[in-house]
Amino acid sequence: MWKQKIVPPDDVLEKIDPGMSIFLGTGMAEPRTLVKHLMESDQFNLQDLELIQLVSLGDAVAIDERYARKFRLKTFYSGWLASDAISQGRVDLIPSRFSRVPWLFKTGAIHINVAFIQVTPPDENGYAYLVGASVERQAMEMAQIVVGEINSQIPRTMGDTLVNMDDFHYLVEATEPPYYVARWPLQDVYLKIAANVASVIQDGNCISYGIGPLYEALAKTLSAKKNLGVHSPFFTDALMELVKSGAVSNRYKTVFRGKSCASYVIGTKELMTWLDLNALVEFQPQDIVMDPRTISLNDNMVAIFPARKVDLTGDIALHSGKGNVTAGPGNVQELFWGAALSKNGRTIFALPSRNRKGNPNILISLDQYPFQFTNRESMDVVVTE
């Protein structure tokens, strides 16, 4: 019986040896109870650990200097809380496209000893749901110790998300709430930009989505469209709003037709409630969702990106989070080439014409900006207000 595997979090930590690598989920999948106990524990064995996390979003993993002997965080994207720590040498950035991360796990290029995985309470047959399908299953397959954190506050998402309780060596009961991300406030400048973006998106197009003020505005300006498709790295509140508006049917998609496709979840409690057993959204692993070959199978694929600066040659400076540290490849290259290879596909980079200080965002050269996207010969559309 799976209930016999339930132990206190500190008992799990006793099984960890110095130097082990521990995988942690991202966003709503982050096992915050286990992470909290790991941060607070003074057990002697918890030294020189590696914490592997796709994106570090919340405040559960502390990255200040006093934890340096206990662990070192390794992440694939710095554009959130980890960017300052990376520039100061306290966090490692792994430069990999997101679709390659499962391969890095499977080949042992990135070694996983322990996997901390957040799951829903199991059903009567002993099956629980992952909250999304990013790289959790691959981490579970490679880890010697797999620990499930059972949390009744996370949604039962559809797709490649079912796991059996037999797959876990230990289980703990969550005492921490999931990590929620509030929605960005609507801004007039982004509503104008989003209106211009919407003017070049046609009924029946398949779109990628992200998080931030541009995408919040797009949820408003795309609501009058018909039969849009969604193929995106993660699912958000803005996407939920767009689906609920009736603009999304996924009718003309080739891959996962009839479903909005994503890998993981970032959003509010309202989104989590809406996603529970919602068959309109299909969650699949990163090596499927973010493979440019998969993306390109959808005709009329439109990849939409927020930009920081653009120059007259077509080079784009992307947002890199705090400081001047590269944010990592993430999923930009994959979405870009997936759309470029799609039949009638397009890429759209959107930005305000001026920054908050009133200085122009359209420049002669981007030499001073570190995180550049330089496929100028393949650029399609740049949109401002």
Q: Give the least confident one: 35-44, 203-212, 306-315, 369-378.
A: 369-378
Please state, as a whole number, how many other Cβ atoms lie within 10 Å of the Cβ of residue 278.
17
**In whole angstroms, what is the distance from residue 274 CA to residue 255 CA?**
23
Domain 2-173, classified CATH 3.10.450.50, yes or no: no
| Average pLDDT across the chain, whole number | 88
Angle between helices 213-221 and 237-244 (to 10 degrees): 0
Which part of the chain is CATH 3.40.1080.10?
2-173
Query: Is the pLDDT score of 56 beyond 80?
Result: no
d(CA 362, CA 381): 14
For position 81, what pLDDT does the model report? 57
Instruction: For the full predicted model, state whether its pTM sits above 0.85.
Output: yes
Q: What is the mean pLDDT of residues 156-172?
A: 96
Q: What mean pLDDT is predicted for residues 85-111?
A: 80
| Residue 324 pLDDT | 45
Cα separation, 280 vs 226, whole angstroms: 16
pLDDT at 133: 86
**115 three-state secondary structure:** strand
Q: What does the angle CA 45 – CA 50 – CA 54 come to, to the nearest 5 degrees?
A: 145
3-state class (DSSP) for residue 318: coil
Banded model confidence at residue 325, pLDDT cuts 50, 70, 90:
very low
Residue 209: is its pLDDT beyond 70?
A: yes
**Four-residue CA torsion sign, 337, 340, 343, 346:** positive
pLDDT at residue 110 tops 80: yes
User: Predicted confidence band at 237 (pLDDT cuts at 50, 70, 90)?
Assistant: very high
How does pLDDT run across 60-82, given as a tens digit for each residue?
Answer: 676 665 566 788 888 887 655 55
Which pLDDT tens digit goes with each residue over 341-374? Answer: 999 999 999 999 998 888 999 988 877 765 555 5
**What is the spatial distance between Cα 26 and Cα 20, in angstroms, rounded to a whole number?**
19
Q: What is the assigned CATH class of domain 188-383? A: alpha beta
Report which of residues 310 and 326 the model is more confident about.
310
- How much is the pLDDT for 63? 62
- The pLDDT of 52-64, averaged and rounded, is 72
Contact 301, 339 (CB under 8 A): yes
Q: What is the pLDDT of residue 323?
A: 45
Please give the single-letter amino acid code of residue 122: P
Q: Which of 12-21, 73-82, 88-97, 213-222 has the lowest mean pLDDT?
A: 73-82
For CATH 3.30.750.70, the residue range(s) in the chain are 188-383
Mean pLDDT for the stretch of residues 134-163: 95
Which residues face 348 on adjacent strands? Answer: 304, 381
Q: Which residue has the tokens 């006093």?
A: 66
pLDDT-derived band of residue 322, with 50, 70 and 90 as boundaries? very low
